[in-house]
Structure 1
Amino acid sequence: MRISAFMIAAALTLPVSAAESFLVPMHTPTPVFPAELIKTRYAGKVRAQLWIKSDGQVREVRAIESGHPQLTEAVEQTLRQWRYKPWIGTVGAPPLATITVPVIFGSHGYRRFNTEVTVGLGKIRCGYLNHEVKSARQDSPKEPLSKINVFSYTGQALFGSHVAQCQKNPTRRYVDYLPENVRNAL
């Protein structure tokens, strides 16, 4: 049976993986939408990877996907300022954590263009998802919905948790780490 978009979205309710449960955000400013891109009504997205040290400081930020160099610069500059609660000495916590953060500039959905900057999966509006689904169905009707960025990002966030759990418990079944509604559908 194929997993529906609804079931994938429902999987967002999974608990944070053990590898990330110690990450407690303390200071996470939002990138500023570059004025030049607002004037030209340029909407785009950046997916950034952060390496966070156990003292809570961000060691490195790198854009791994970007629609425009100015968006890349805005995201990298701002995310370098992010701070987390230190986890030095926390049992089982690594000295360095890596996370991936999507940042959407001028998200579509409820208006054709806006100056909103959305950081992280948890803040993406349904209007943006609806826009992505509509665009995907028009541009690539034969492609599965799992190719849509929001679902792809969600899957990537979940995969890390599943891999970590299966590495810790190799005799368990993969499905044991899925939400109950997804397990029941499989």
Structure 2
Amino acid sequence: MRFLVLAAALLASTAVFAGFEPEVVFTVKPVYPKTLTTTQGHARISLKIHNDGSVSDVKALNATKPAFGEAAVGAAKQWRFKPWTVSAERPAVVEARNDMLFSPEPISREGVQLNFTEVKFQSCRDLSEEVSQFRREHATRPLSAMKSFAITRVAVMLPAFSGKTTYADGLVLADQLENLLPEIVRQCQANPTATYADYLPHSLKQYR
């Protein structure tokens, strides 16, 4: 079984201070959890990068599986960056975020596109049922961790991972999706004969 973890553009999600981004000198990719042999998912982490090149306060913000979050955090704790001199333009600590995709097989654009097409054209009735089941089983998890929404997030981020758009642009779309989820759920519940795609903004209906 081949495993793939994408942690592309590691610092592109960095909260830039006056245009400054620390330079990566050493990274470790997370290990695909042995207990999840057929599961695809993602994890989003936050971390602080210090001017001596070290990292601290690495946390999993959300993950489709707890094991993915643990793997992402474990890897990020080993990352190192090129030290820098603190100045008005270069703070002593920079806060960053990073998304990682986990897959038991290499992730193909065609496969993601097919999954996204199936998901976005499902009926609002089906989506609402999925939301209800997700909330019963995972009451404390964010909506972005639900399968249909996680697939959508992967789809809108894929161009960034493949280099067709910037990682920052991908994060803008992913954040836009996350902010819209409660309203999309509300609209679908009110209009069960509509489709999920009816309530996705044009910028999220396709990825380039």
Does 2:67 align with 1:87? no
Q: 1:95 to 1:56 in 2, by over 3 A?
A: same
Check the 8 A contact 2:15/2:94 in 1, yes or no: no
SS of corresponding position for 1:35: coil
TM-score normalised according to structure 2 size: 0.50
One of 100, 105, 109 as aligned partner of 1:103 = 100
Q: Give how far 1:135 is off.
A: 4.3
Q: Give how far 1:71 is off.
A: 1.4
Q: Give how far 1:61 is off.
A: 0.8
Does 2:82 align with 1:134? no
Q: Which residues of 2 match residues 35-46 of structure 1 at below 5 A?
A: 35-38=34-37, 41-46=38-43
Deviations 1:151-184 (A, max 9, x none): 375207999xxxxxxxxxxxxxxxxxxxxxxxxx
Q: Give how far 1:67 is off.
A: 1.4
Check the 8 A contact 1:56/1:84 in 2, yes or no: yes
Percent of residue pairs identical: 23
List gaps (5 residues or longer) in structure 1.
Answer: 1-13, 107-112, 117-123, 160-186
**Which residue of structure 1 aligns with residue 172 of structure 2?**
155
Equivalenced residues, count: 127
SS of corresponding position for 2:36: helix
The structure 1 segments of at least 4 consecutive aligned residues displaced by more than 4 Å after TM superposition are 156-159
2: CA distance, partners of 1:128 / 1:93: 41
Alpha-carbon RMSD across the aligned residues, in angstroms, is 3.5
1: CA distance, partners of 2:63 / 2:52: 28
List gaps (5 residues or longer) in structure 2.
Answer: 1-11, 128-148, 158-169, 177-208
Q: Which residues of 2 match residues 1-186 of structure 1 at below 5 A?
A: 18-19=16-17, 21-38=20-37, 41-106=38-103, 113-114=104-105, 116=106, 126-127=109-110, 129-131=112-114, 133-139=116-122, 148-150=152-154, 151=156, 153-155=170-172
Check the 8 A contact 1:48/1:62 in 2, yes or no: yes
SS of corresponding position for 1:29: coil
Check the 8 A contact 2:53/2:80 in 1, yes or no: yes
